[in-house]
Chain A
Amino acid sequence: MYKILLSFRYLLKRRISYLAFLAVALCVFIVLVVMTVMTGLVTDFRQKNHSFAGDCVVGTESLVGFAYYEDFVKVLEQSGFIEAVSPVIKSYALIARQGAQQSKGVEIMGIEPLSHSKVTGFAETLYHHREDASRAFEPAFDVNRPGCVLGIDLWLRRDSSGGYSYEAVPSATPLSVSCFPLTAKGASAKGGAGEVSSKTFYYSDNSHSGLARVDSSLVYLPFEWSQRLCGMAGADKRANAIHIKFRPNVKIEDGCEKVALMWQSFKREKAGEKLSNLLETVTVQSWKDYRRSFIAAMEKEQAMIIVMFALVGVTTVFIIFVVFYMIVSHKSKDIGILKSIGVSNVNIIELFSGFAFLLGLLGAAIGTFFGWLFLLKINRVENWLFEHFKFQLWDRTIYAIDDIPNQIEFKVLVVIIISAIVACLAGALLPSRRAARMRPVETLQVSQL
């Protein structure tokens, strides 16, 4: 009981303790704020990528695509663990407003909007047809014309506050889309001067996925039209990928494993068919693996920040070590008194460890409180700074983020608090042992001088 009493008294009555727990509080504050923002950005980025891709993708990198995709779609739709599937055409094209001198290179994705919305978050990215994605390719001025959905940054400019000025009704803008159709053997489907397939589409909506690369370079087209443009229609229809959504109770890894087995079985069935060679390039990937090249960069940054904060932790341990070394030196008389009344060496270590524990807990609590408060106001602070000084942490005209993430994750908070306490205990360990080894006779005699 005296250990608890003395720990509290040392914590509250010694000024040097204030410095120590303020140091801990500052470290906790910094780590909490940065980890919350970073984790928020990474989580948000992952969620957007997951929403973009669905749960699983059966696809090929080859622009030629693969055949018999309709048969495999039937197989998938009959399985009990799959909720929805969406075959997709992926290719590259040149897009130009009619009459314009310049064209722009874009990626095109041919989809059936309703089924694609069941697999991915496509519908939520739309502006004019969010409530009814099946009409995504119906231009407002004439629903019978073939429409196209443009990545938002292809159509609108992002303003400095990160917003867009949407039109009330999509304008009747014709856009020429030109592709290079390929045969199943990978050769140009058209020879001579007419190697390119072109078609005029009309702007019907824009898609804001929150992924910079997608929003600035992707054009959604109706599935059949894109199939024709890419030379994948005809007797042996081809597609580039099938996006899949699992039922809610199915784990992604388990679902992908089952789909992979189904694909292997399907491949064996089609082994003797005319275009079975195209099936060899097809892979089955979870959404994470499918979007690995985009996610990995952010995950590496997050890992780097965690490493840097480990160094911050080492600094905290050192600060606590120095503070406790000073406290133990100053408290040598107390240690002598405690030993003279029968307190053991182990109890002396426990006393200072308890003190370190309280110091870590209090510092973590203060750091957490101010971190929470700062995160609560972080967007208002940034808005105020932008209004008065034109300063933004991330330039919204460049970075595709809305508000700075400020939701503290409970798991992250628990890890930070435990790390702060462990750092304090680690820093106090050697001074505590030094205190325990002090000879009471010496400490009491020295303090008499």
Chain B
Amino acid sequence: MFSKHMSNDDSILKVEGLYKSYRMGATKVSVLKGLVFAVKRGEFVAVVGVSGSGKSTLLHILGALDSPDKGVVEFEGRDLNRMAAGELNRFRNKTVGFVFQFYHLLDELSVMENVFLPAMAGCGVVGWFMCRRKVKRRAEELLEKLGLSDRAEHKPFQLSGGERQRVAIARALMNEPKVLLADEPTGNLDTATGNGILRVFEGLNTAGQTIVMVTHDEAIAHRAGRIVTLVNGKIEN
């Protein structure tokens, strides 16, 4: 649990006074109401809360996929709100990796191409020809680590749910992000497959990967190193 009295020196992500609301027709719905939150380097944090508590919204703001109405979001001391569009794109490409509930793989690309897509997006045509061998080696290593070496040329529709989620994890790890953000990574999987994914996360965290995982399932949350509960737009514990 993050405490105000603890040292903030090793915090990789810090959020203070975060507000976010959405407009649903004439109604304004406040999702985050002055949230304060921090993640230390190397932590595995699970954010739990009921449906509509703002968990995914928090995750999207941490990963610069969305912007808050008010508040400060700092990554390694740099305020994301002050970054230019190009810097935010580079942040999303190099610094964070996203894993979504529904995998979100590109159907027209093979498993291997989906995995090295972030690396391809980060370099131009000339840059790609210079680094493609290195990138493909990295992708092969990730697929091997996640037990998908023999699926490299398959298309996503040929994979099971668990396999697709592992491809999504490999893609998220492609550019060696400092933080892995996972939004309900086991939400669309059966228990056994979900456990398999969680074992992958535990393994990555043991190796030093910082992970922030959103889930509504307390049992899954307990697999993380720390649990924070989101209630009424604020961190309760």
**Measuring CB to CB, which residues of chain A are less than 8 angstroms from any residue of chain B?**
1-2, 4-6, 9-10, 13-14, 333-334, 336-345, 347, 439-441, 444-445, 447-448
Contact = CB atoms under 8 A, between A and B. Distances in A.
Which 6 A-B pairs give the minimum distances between C-beta atoms? Answer: A342-B93, A9-B108, A1-B128, A342-B92, A2-B120, A341-B118
Contact of B109 (A5, A14, A344, A448): A5
Contacts of A343: 89, 93, 121
Interface stretch (B39-47, B74-82, B97-105, B216-224): B97-105
Nearest to A9: B108
Interface in B102-161: 102, 104-106, 108-109, 113, 117-118, 120-125, 128-129
B86 interface: yes
Contacts of B94: 342
A5 B122 CA distance: 14
Interface stretch (B58-66, B190-198, B203-211): B58-66
B66 A441 contact: yes
B85 interface: yes
B86 A344 contact: yes
Given A13-B108, A343-B89, A344-B85, A447 B102 contact: yes
Contacts, number: 74
B122 A342 contact: yes
B199 interface: no
Contact of B121 (A9, A336, A341, A439): A341
A5 B120 contact: yes
A1 B123 contact: yes
Contacts of B63: 340
Dominant SS among interface residues on chain B: helix
A110 B111 CA distance: 84
B2 interface: no
A317 to B, nearest CB: 26
Interface magnitude class on chain B = 20 to 34
Given A340-B63, A440-B65, A333 B104 contact: yes
B65 A339 contact: yes
A351 to B, nearest CB: 10
Contacts of A6: 106, 108-109
Instruction: Please classify the interface of chain A as helix (H, G, I), strand (E, B), loop, or mixed, using the class held by over half of its residues.
Output: helix
A150 to B, nearest CB: 69
Q: Which interface residue of B85, B93, B104, B123 has the most chain A CB atoms within 10 A?
A: B104
B92 A341 contact: yes
Contacts of B65: 339-340, 440-441, 444
A339 to B, nearest CB: 7
18 contacts: A1-B124, A1-B128, A2-B121, A5-B113, A337-B104, A338-B121, A340-B92, A340-B98, A340-B100, A341-B92, A342-B91, A342-B93, A342-B121, A342-B122, A343-B89, A343-B121, A344-B89, A347-B121
Interface of B: 56, 60, 63, 65-66, 85-86, 89-94, 98, 100-102, 104-106, 108-109, 113, 117-118, 120-125, 128-129, 171
Nearest to B181: A340
A441 B108 CA distance: 21
Contacts of B86: 344
B92 to A, nearest CB: 4
A227 B135 CA distance: 91
B109 A9 contact: yes
A438 to B, nearest CB: 12
Given A337-B105, A341-B98, 12 more contacts: A1-B124, A2-B120, A2-B121, A9-B108, A9-B109, A338-B121, A340-B98, A341-B93, A341-B118, A342-B93, A447-B104, A448-B100
A336 B63 CA distance: 13
Contacts of B60: 441
Contacts of B129: 1
A440 B85 CA distance: 14
A17 B128 CA distance: 27
B124 A342 contact: no
B101 A448 contact: yes
Contacts of B124: 1
A448 B102 CA distance: 6
Contacts of A337: 104-106
A327 to B, nearest CB: 12
In the complex, which of the residues A1, A14, A440 has the most CB atoms of chain B within 10 Å of its own CB atom? A1
Nearest to B188: A448
Given A1-B128, A336-B104, A441-B66, A342 B90 contact: yes
Contacts of A445: 56
Contacts of A5: 109, 113, 120
Contacts of A339: 65, 92
B85 to A, nearest CB: 7
Contacts of B92: 339-342
B118 A342 contact: yes
Nearest to A343: B121
Nearest to A338: B121
Contacts of A448: 100-102
A1 B120 contact: yes
Nearest to A448: B102
A95 B104 CA distance: 88
Residue from the set A9, A10, A338, A340 with the largest chain B CB neighbour count within 10 Å: A340
Central interface residue in A14, A440, A447, by most chain B CB within 10 Å: A440
Nearest to B127: A1
B157 to A, nearest CB: 12
A342 B86 CA distance: 9
Nearest to B93: A342
A133 to B, nearest CB: 64
Contacts of B123: 1
Contacts of B108: 6, 9-10, 13-14
Given A339-B65, A340-B63, A340-B98, A444 B104 contact: yes
Contacts of B66: 439, 441
B102 A342 contact: no
A340 B100 CA distance: 10
Contacts of B125: 1, 4
A6 B117 CA distance: 10
A4 B128 CA distance: 12
Contacts of A340: 63, 65, 92, 98, 100, 104
